[in-house]
């Protein structure tokens, strides 16, 4: 029997232009998977011939979710090209802003973009609030939002939506699907945290704005340093940052961590989330400056899931190719020489499985030709997974004591083996573990900044651009979805070439000229789907990467 083709489009809750197509065999096991983005804007072409001092502002417009990331990357790529060393206060302030971004981004991702893949809202309405309130203590010392009356109020609030048939943010889901594993009480606890997280994320957005001036799209970075010296010298602004940081720590410790423990226990026998699938190569870059020289997370590469070795990154081995992407210039190119010339070839007609499970004739991708606006980044010709899981694994395998303590504690409490990290469940846990590492250690960055400001108030290093010289430079760092790099060439005082190699590009890119598939596609192959008209398993796997396609395509 011929394979059947299932299409999920759009697959994300907010970042809409990602489409997944899979081919399943007669047992509904995925044999082939294709990841494609259907929108392109061309920021890398817009920045050409502009003043490099504007690169940060222009590149910032790639994305309003990881909003600070491309801004900082654009600025630090120019600093690297011009040989500028920003002062310690600027570096620490950027680190604090980055920590605030990670806290906001990961909490919003788990609760609002991914949580409902794990939590069945309709089941939560059947829960006994008194029982749920007691159960919450199994996972947290000081549970948040789980008093009996609070849980009853959550049920009443959501019931109104359901009874009116207007599910709002809870519509279009596959409630009752057989791969939901939490009990009604556990679903209710997590649902309460979903609503709490809506409030928390508002404060975390403010935390970014304290030093950023605004959020999204902060405005306080400049080539050479930061411009928020008035805020850094204002004790009330610093106090505000600290207050929100402590609130975030409480939420991570007593809600986010607890919910992942709960999910770990409930889902540990669900094959779609605990099977080891994917490229098994992980890459991350050091991030989160804690003091004058130490970073919270490490740089390195893990190959074939082997945690006994961590390889250094050789930047010369990073390439992007476009054999199956809608651009000219198929060959792998190093980003200093990367090209972005669109070449859209469209979709073809195929038989596919419709939303009701019946066969229909519809537009589908042409997998033998070009099929996505996302390019295919490779390291030494190999696909790599980037992201919080990669960062945690690389740090863990590098002997980073802070990360080892957090990971080992989590594995002991959840009863999960180390192998469980290499799965969809592990990827979702990895993001939480990264957040846990930040709330446990970020205070060091804050205190170092306070101490340094007492003796040094420098926030900016001056520089000159020589129009007769050619420059090249790059930024490499980790942002909420993983390793990001920006590569710039400057000639005649303007940007000659610019390429961004983005986390969601590494993870979501199509296969390459050698047929090697990337993390999204390889994490789907081999997975069985219970019901083709309700492909929740596909959604859960892809959401665990926290796709951002505005970033991936740019
Ligand atoms: Ni948009 Fe970004 C994407 C991140 O992958 N993190 O480079 C950045 O978005 O969220």
Tens of pLDDT, residue by residue over 124-163, are: 999 999 999 999 999 999 999 999 999 999 999 999 888 8
Q: Which residues on neighbouring strands pair with residue 485, listed in sequence order?
A: 476, 501
Rounded average pLDDT over 526-539: 96
Is the model's pLDDT at 81 over the cut of 80?
A: yes
Tell me the helix, strand and coil percentages in the chain, rounded to 5. 45, 15, 35
pLDDT confidence of 173, banded at 50, 70, 90? confident
Please report the pLDDT score of residue 3 as a whole number.
85
Instruction: Give CA–CA dist 465/538, Å, rounded.
Output: 49
Q: Residue 342: CB partners within 8 Å, gap ≥ 6?
A: 40, 42, 326, 327, 328
Is the model's pLDDT at 167 over the cut of 80?
A: no
Ligand 1 pocket, residue 479 CB under 6 Å: yes
Rounded average pLDDT over 282-301: 98
Instruction: Give CA–CA dist 199/158, Å, rounded.
Output: 17
The average confidence (pLDDT) of the chain is 95
- Of the residues 5, 13, 15, 395, which is catalytic? 15
Burial 336-356 (b: 16+ CB within 10 A, else e): bebebeeeeeeeeebebbeee
Distance of CA 338 to CAs 46, 47, 79, Å? 15, 14, 20
Other beta carbons within 10 Å of 95? 23
Tell me the pairing of strands 18-24 and 4-8.
Answer: antiparallel
pLDDT confidence of 107, banded at 50, 70, 90? very high
Ligand 1 pocket, residue 386 CB under 6 Å: no
Q: pTM of the predicted model, to two decimals?
A: 0.97
- Choose one of 482, 543, 545 to mutate for the ligand 1 pocket test, by most ligand atoms within 8 angstroms of C-beta: 482
pLDDT confidence of 93, banded at 50, 70, 90? very high
Residue 472 gets the label, from left (phi > 0), alpha (psi -120 to 50) or beta, of: beta
Largest CA distance in the chain: 75
DSSP 317: G
Is the model's pLDDT at 219 over the cut of 70?
A: yes
Please report the pLDDT score of residue 355 as a whole number.
67
Is the separation of the CB atoms in 196 and 189 below 8 Å? no
Is the model's pLDDT at 38 over the cut of 90?
A: no
Ligand 1 pocket, residue 548 CB under 6 Å: yes
Note the ipTM here: 0.96
Instruction: Give CA–CA dist 247/265, Å, rounded.
Output: 26
Instruction: Give CA–CA dist 188/136, Å, rounded.
Output: 10
Instruction: Give CA–CA dist 23/39, Å, rounded.
Output: 23
Residues 428-482: pLDDT tens digits? 999 999 999 999 999 999 999 999 999 999 999 999 999 999 999 999 999 999 9
Please report the pLDDT score of residue 165 as a whole number.
78
Is the model's pLDDT at 164 over the cut of 90?
A: no
Instruction: Give CA–CA dist 29/46, Å, rounded.
Output: 43
Ligand 1 pocket, residue 483 CB under 6 Å: no
pLDDT confidence of 354, banded at 50, 70, 90? confident
Ligand 1 pocket, residue 69 CB under 6 Å: yes
**Residue 240 CA to ligand 1 centre (angstroms):** 27
CB-side neighbour CA atoms (13 Å) of 266:
21
Instruction: Give CA–CA dist 549/503, Å, rounded.
Output: 10
Active site residue 548: yes
Angle (CA) 101 104 105, round 5°:
80
């Amino acid at each position: 029997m011929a394979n059947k083709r299932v299409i999920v489009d759009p697959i994300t809750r907010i970042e809409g232009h990602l489409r997944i197509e899979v081919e399943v065999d007669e047992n509904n096991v995925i044999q082939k998977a294709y990841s494609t983005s259907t929108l392109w804007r061309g920021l890398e072409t817009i920045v050409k011939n502009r003043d490099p001092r504007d690169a940060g502002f222009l590149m910032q417009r790639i994305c309003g979710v990881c909003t600070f990331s491309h801004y900082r990357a654009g600025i630090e790529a120019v600093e690297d090209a011009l040989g500028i060393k920003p002062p310690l206060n600027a570096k620490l302030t950027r680190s604090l802003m980055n920590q605030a971004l990670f806290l906001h981004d990961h909490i919003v991702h788990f609760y609002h973009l991914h949580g409902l893949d794990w939590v069945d809202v309709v089941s939560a309405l059947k829960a006994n609030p008194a029982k749920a309130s007691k159960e919450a203590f199994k996972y947290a010392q000081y549970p948040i939002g789980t008093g009996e009356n609070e849980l009853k109020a959550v049920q009443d609030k959501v019931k109104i939506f359901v009874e009116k048939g207007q599910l709002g943010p809870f519509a279009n889901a596959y409630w009752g699907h057989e791969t939901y594993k939490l009990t009604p009480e556990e679903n209710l606890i997590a649902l309460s945290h979903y609503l709490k997280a809506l409030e928390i994320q508002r404060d975390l957005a403010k935390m970014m704005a304290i030093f950023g001036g605004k959020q999204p799209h902060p405005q306080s970075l400049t080539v050479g340093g930061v411009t928020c010296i008035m805020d850094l010298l204002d004790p009330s602004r610093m106090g505000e940052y600290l207050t929100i940081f402590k609130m975030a720590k409480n939420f991570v410790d007593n809600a986010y961590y607890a919910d992942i423990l709960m999910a770990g226990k409930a889902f540990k026998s669900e094959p779609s989330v605990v099977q080891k699938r994917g490229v098994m190569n992980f890459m991350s870059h050091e991030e989160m400056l804690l003091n004058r020289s130490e970073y919270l997370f490490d740089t390195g590469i893990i190959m074939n899931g082997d945690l006994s070795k961590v390889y250094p990154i050789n930047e010369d081995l990073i390439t992007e190719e476009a054999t199956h992407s809608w651009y000219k210039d198929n060959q792998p190119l190093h980003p200093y020489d990367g090209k972005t010339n669109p070449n859209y070839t469209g979709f073809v007609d195929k038989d596919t499985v419709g939303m009701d499970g019946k066969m229909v004739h519809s537009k589908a991708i042409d997998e033998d030709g070009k099929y996505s606006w996302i390019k295919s980044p490779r390291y030494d010709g190999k696909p790599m997974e980037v992201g919080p899981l990669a960062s945690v694994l690389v740090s863990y395998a590098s002997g980073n004591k802070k990360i080892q303590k957090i990971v080992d504690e989590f594995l002991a409490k959840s009863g999960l083996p180390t192998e469980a990290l290499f799965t969809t469940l592990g990827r979702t846990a990895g993001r939480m573990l990264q957040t846990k590492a930040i709330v446990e250690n970020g205070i060091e960055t804050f205190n170092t900044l306070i101490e340094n400001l007492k003796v040094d108030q420098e926030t900016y290093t001056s520089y000159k651009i020589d129009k007769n010289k050619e420059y090249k430079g790059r930024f490499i760092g980790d942002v909420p979805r993983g390793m990001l790099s920006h590569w710039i060439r400057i000639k005649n005082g303007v940007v000659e070439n610019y390429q961004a190699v983005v986390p969601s590009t590494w993870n979501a890119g199509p296969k390459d000229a050698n047929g090697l598939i990337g993390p999204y596609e390889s994490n789907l192959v081999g997975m069985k789907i219970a019901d083709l008209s309700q492909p929740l398993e596909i959604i859960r796997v892809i959401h665990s990467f926290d796709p951002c396609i505005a970033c991936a395509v740019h």
